[in-house]
Amino acid sequence: MGATRNLAVSKVKGKFICFLDTNDLWHSEKLVIEIKFMLSNTDVALSYSNWSKLGSDRNDTIVERGKNFRRPQPTGYVFRRFLKDYAVNLQTEILRHEVLQDNNLCFDPYLQLSEEYDLFMRVLYDKKAGYDHRVLAGYRIHDSQDSYTKIDLYPVEYNYNQEV
């Protein structure tokens, strides 16, 4: 996924980058809310929001299983806090394109499960994050997603991230 995301980022012409995988959803107001926030908070490199867990009922209809965060999440310089309790889910973020360009940052193509964690933590090492408490996206939980089917890669990628 990292190499594919890097190719997509290389084609970006706008000020902001965000991602929506095929199995996830955005609420209709997500982009308006977060872009407005980013335009008025020029010192924020990455914004993120709350999200809901999505599943399917017996008829394969998508159903919401409740919001993920019950408490406010951190804003500002969050790097140290995120080392203990990482709060960004890919479909919730909006990132300034210039931050990637100016710092020569990209997704690590080696990583299969934590490519966004790696990139966003490198962005947030010395830059600010903003958080919106509203549920603006949905993350679909299902048995065929990589976080289940490739679960054995978590310790490998954790160790790799610690070395890099």
pLDDT at 63: 59
Residue 161 or 33, more confident: 33
Close Cβ partners of 74 (under 8 Å, ≥ 6 residues apart): 81, 82, 87, 129, 131
Give the C-alpha separation, 162 to 26, whole Å.
32
What CA dihedral angle connects 87, 46, 152 and 21, to 10 degrees?
110
Which CATH number does the domain housing residue 27 bear? 3.90.550.10
What's the rounded mean pLDDT across residues 29-39? Answer: 97
List of residues 6+ apart from 160 with CB closer than 8 A: 110, 111
Q: Which of 9-13, 132-136, 151-155 shows the lowest mean pLDDT across its residues?
A: 151-155
CA distance 93 to 120: 9
Residue 163: the pLDDT is 62
- pLDDT on residue 21: 86
Q: What is the pTM of this model?
A: 0.85
Query: What's the rounded Cα separation, in Å, for the pair 30 and 37?
Result: 11
Beta strands in the chain, from DSSP E residues, in sequence order: 16-17, 25-26, 44-56, 62-67, 94-96, 128-140
At residue 145, φ and ψ (nearest 5 deg) are: -75, 155
The number of domains in the chain is 1
CA atoms within 13 Å, Cβ hemisphere of 68: 23
pLDDT (tens digit per residue) in 37-79: 999 999 999 999 999 988 766 655 555 667 788 898 999 999 9
Domain of residue 36: give its range: 2-163
Tell me what the pLDDT averaged over the chain comes to.
Answer: 87
Confidence tier at 105 by pLDDT (50, 70, 90)? very high
